[in-house]
Amino acid sequence: MSAGARDADADAEVPVATGLGAPALRVLTEADLPRLAELEELLFAPSAWSLSMLTEELGAQGRWYVGVDAPQGDDTPPRLVAYAGLWFDGDVGQVMTIGVDPAVQRRGLGTVLLEALVARARELGAQAVLLEVRVDNEPALALYRRHGFEVLARRRRYYQPEDVDAFTMGLPLR
């Protein structure tokens, strides 16, 4: 985790309203890596980040990864069902990833995460938030558009091995 991600405010658990009980947004740690790899595979195969890529990513400079746990039933501890990451390079914030377990999609978790990343980028003084999204990813495009992101460019064959184009989208913050 970046030094910036370790300050007290950033680490505070924040309750979020999602209809999943009272899950809390929290900063992710190395202990989350196995579950993160599982979710990646579920959501992004065949271009999912591997465990080693995730390990590197979580520890890289300027990153802020957060997630939401949801209750699993009486005797099972809550587990991570949604996650997202921001990279602040001193100038702009980049949404590195955002994913919600298919079992709990469309309950507002993507919104909670995206709003948290944008708020964090704003706090850090970012000029804008940028992201890449597959041109055929309708749910994500709808989510980003709803939050004011606009298409800035099309990047040909950005996603491999799928060989699919990406849109670069941006949200100006100042």
Beta carbon nearer to ligand COA, 23 or 99: 99
Of positions 4, 62, 71, 108, contacts ligand COA by CB under 6 A = 108
DSSP the chain: --GGGGSHHHHS-EE--SSSSS-EEEE--GGGHHHHHHHHHHHHTTSPPPHHHHHHHHHSTTEEEEEEEE--SSSS--EEEEEEEEEE-SS-EEEEEEEE-GGGTTSSHHHHHHHHHHHHHHHTT-SEEEEEEETT-HHHHHHHHHTT-EEEEEEEEEETTTTEEEEEEEEE--
Stretch that binds ligand COA, among 24-32, 86-94, 98-106, 150-158 (CB under 6 A): 98-106
Stretch that binds ligand COA, among 3-11, 72-80, 85-93, 109-117 (CB under 6 A): 109-117
Stretch that binds ligand COA, among 66-74, 116-124, 142-150, 156-164 (CB under 6 A): 142-150
Of positions 36, 100, 118, 130, contacts ligand COA by CB under 6 A = 100
Residues that bind ligand COA (CB under 6 A): 43, 98-100, 105-111, 133, 137-140, 142-143, 146
